[in-house]
Amino acid sequence: MSSVLYQSRDSIAEIIINRPDKHNVIDHSVVEGLHQAWHRFNDSSDKVAILTASGERAFTAGANLKDIPHDFWRAVPGVGVTVDKPIIAAIGGVVVGGGLVLVQFADLAIAAENTVLSYPEAKVGYSGRLISSLAARIPHKVAMELLLLGGSIDARRAYEVGLVNRVVPSGDQLTVARKFAADIAANAPLVLKMLKRFVGATVPKGPSEAAAIARATVETVNSADDYREGIAAFFEKRAPVFTGTVLAPNGTRAVE
C-alpha cells in the first residue's frame, strides 16, 4: 500500500497521506511520497491540489520518533519542491509537528471541527526547525505560545488567528476543499501562478526556511544530468556536453 496517493479529476489533484492505521505518521516513505507527488503535480495539467489524509482520527500524528525523517523538508511544498500552483489543506483530527508545517505552507486550509493542531517538539528535544516560519503567517505571540509551551490549539482558535480559512463539521472538510478547488481551477492559471509567486516573495523567510530552500536547490543541481556529464567528461578528458536537464523523481526530464 502506497504511503501517499495521487488522484486527479477535473483539473484538481488530491494528494493523500495514506497510513491511517498508524495515524498517518510521517516516516521516510511519506516524505518520499510527498516529494514525488509535488513533482507530479508540477508536471501535470492539474491546476490546484488538495492535501489531505486517510481516516478520521488524524491528518498526521507527526514524525516517527523511532526513525525520524530528518529530510522532512523534502516533503514540504515551496521548500523541498517549488510549487507555483495553489494548494489547499483539508485537515481533521490531530495535526502534530510536521503536519502543522504542511498546513502553514499550504495556501488555504479547511479544518474539521475535531481538528487539534500542536507542535510538541520542545517537549521531546527534537525539532525540524521549519516551524519557525509559522511566525510569518500567524501573530507572533500566538506562534510563540504554541511553540514554546508545546501545547495545542483547536480548529476555532486556528480560524481566529488566520491559520485556517473555514471550520466545518467533521467529515465535510474534503467536500468544502473540493468546492474551493473547483472555484480556483476555473480562474486564469497565469494570474494564479503570478499571485502565488508574488505572495511567496512577500512573506518573510526565516533562516531555517531559507537554508532548506538552498539545500533543495543545491541537491537539484548535484543530481542533474549535467553533474554526471561533467564528471564523466573530466575523467574521459573531453569537452562536456551540458543539456540543462534534471531527472525528476518520476523519471521524466525537464529543462531548467
Q: What is the pLDDT of residues 179-194, one digit of tens each?
A: 999 999 999 999 999 9
d(CA 128, CA 79): 13
Choose among 117, 59, 53, 106: nearest CA to 79.
Answer: 106
* CATH of region 4-187, choose from 3.40.50.2300, 3.30.1330.60, 3.40.50.300, 3.90.226.10: 3.90.226.10
- Between 245 and 247, the more confident residue is 245
Instruction: Indicate the range of 58-72, 191-205, 207-221 predicted with least confidence.
Output: 207-221
Mean pLDDT of 194-222: 91
Identity of the residue numbered 51: L
The confidence score (pLDDT) of residue 256 equals 38
The confidence score (pLDDT) of residue 240 equals 93
φ, ψ of residue 251 to 5 degrees: the values are: 90, -5
**Domain parsing of the chain, residue ranges:** 4-187, 207-255
CB atoms within 10 A of CB 19: 24
Those residues whose C-beta lies under 8 Å from the C-beta of residue 14, and which sit 6 or more positions away, are 5, 6, 7, 8, 49, 50, 52
Q: How far apart, in Å, are the Cα atoms of 141 and each of 5, 147, 156?
A: 36, 10, 17
pLDDT digit string, tens, across residues 225-244: 999 999 999 999 999 999 98
DSSP letter for each residue of 81-150: B---S-EEEEE-SEEETHHHHHHHHSSEEEEETT-EEE--HHHHT---SGGGGGGGTS-HHHHHHHHHH-
| DSSP element (H, E) containing 231 | helix 225-236
What is the grid cell recorded at 220? 537539484
Q: How far apart, in Å, are the Cα atoms of 37 and each of 57, 114, 149, 219?
A: 23, 27, 33, 18
- pLDDT band at residue 248 under the 50/70/90 scheme: low
Instruction: Indicate the range of 7-21, 141-155, 219-233 predicted with least confidence.
Output: 219-233
The confidence score (pLDDT) of residue 255 equals 38
Q: Mean pLDDT score of the chain, rounded to an integer?
A: 93
Please provide the distance, in angstroms rounded to a whole number, between the alpha carbons at the two ends of the chain: 33
pLDDT digit string, tens, across residues 24-45: 999 999 999 999 999 999 999 9
- Between 1 and 196, the more confident residue is 196
The confidence score (pLDDT) of residue 253 equals 45
